[in-house]
Amino acid sequence: MALDTFNITYPSVHVGTEKSNINFYSGIPDLISVFNPGRTEGKKRFFVTDATVASLDCMKDFIAKFDDDKCGNDMLIILGSGEPYKTLESVQRIISAAVDGEFTRKDIFVGIGGGVICDITAFAASLFKRGASVQFVPTTLLAMVDASIGGKCGCDFDNYKNMIGTFFPASDLYYWPEFVQYLPQNQFSSGLAEAFKTGILYDKELFDIFKTESEKINNRDSEILYKIIQKCVKAKAKVVEQDFTEQNIRALLNLGHTFGHALESIAGLGAITHGEAVAWGIGRAVAVSCNKGYCMQAFVQEINSLLELYNWETKAIPSEVKGGGVGERFLTVMHKDKKNLNSKIRLIIPKAVADVVIEEVEEADILAVIK
């Protein structure tokens, strides 16, 4: 039985689903009890996960249900793990397997994994026969606090982050916060960064939790993590309900992402985790804010101290960036960012906690903080 539930309601003009039902569960993840793979009644399910998730101890019984990728009318596909697999080829592989399995548009795709799996599964579902429904079981902290919520899906293209995609939200999300305990440290840190971003944007209490509860957070205390996850989910849900297709306020959720996505591309997709790149990007955005006179140096110092507390990068140029011409390389990538509306770079700039603006900046503003 779900420990807690609530939902996100979407605009009636959107195709796919009218709302996402979010269900929280306690204890060791038990997907068999929720999905009952191989059941004979109801719609067929096409489960998509990756090799890392499939190898987890808590997933072994579920994976074992599938003999040669089938369990009754249900199917399972296991993809490679990580950002290198967030590609059109992976999306095509999902769709091809669904076609071979004789799935229909009335059946259900289920993504079990982190942000990559959620994104490409939903993207494949949105394209399959013009749209089959999708559900998520987010298994990383980043997916729980951000990637699985709100309907953005897609893949990377030509070494650019999330260049291709659609808005196609999941009808149901199943949260087991206990999955966080299985994460390697870099993936745990990646998810924390997105939660930290949420605190800066919307929630002073959440921001203060990062300031005062670092020991519990770094030790993965289940109670404090559950509180963080719920706060992030509810904060993003509120924004998504008001601006589903990112016409205005939803763009604020990209705090740190313009710099961060550029870092991921320049370092090589997968060389640094998404969240860690975003954390560095937050530091750069705050530096821009100070240079423009929007915040005091004390705020810059406070943010940098917290970044250091969680072992996130604060250097102007991270060690993952190799070679010369760094400024021009960043500008080239940032000019291609999907948030830009014209030739200028559009940046999310924090003035203080819960006080953030969207502004087009000059190239000089960018170059000043990456040298």
Tell me the residue ranges of DSSP E strands in 53-171.
70-71, 74-79, 108-113, 133-138, 152-157, 160-167
* pLDDT for the residue 13: 57
pLDDT at 339 over 60: yes
d(Cα 337, Cα 345) in Å, to the nearest integer?
8
Q: Are 35 and 75 in contact (CB under 8 A)?
A: no
- Report the Cα–Cα distance between both ends of the chain, in Å, rounded: 53
3-state helix, strand, coil in the chain (%, to 5): 50, 20, 35
d(Cα 9, Cα 11) in Å, to the nearest integer?
7
d(Cα 258, Cα 214) in Å, to the nearest integer?
27
* pLDDT for the residue 195: 98
* pLDDT for the residue 202: 96
pTM for this prediction? 0.93
For the residues 276-300, what does the mean pLDDT come to? 98
For the residues 327-347, what does the mean pLDDT come to? 91
Q: What pLDDT digit, counting tens, does each position of 195-237 carry?
A: 999 999 999 999 999 999 999 999 999 999 999 999 999 999 9
Q: Are 307 and 259 in contact (CB under 8 A)?
A: no
Q: Number of H helices and number of E strands within the chain?
A: 15, 12
Q: Which two tokens stand for residue 326?
A: 């760094």
pLDDT at 338 over 90: no
Q: What pLDDT digit, counting tens, does each position of 247-269 carry?
A: 899 999 999 999 999 999 999 99
pLDDT at 39 over 60: yes
For the residues 44-53, what does the mean pLDDT come to? 98
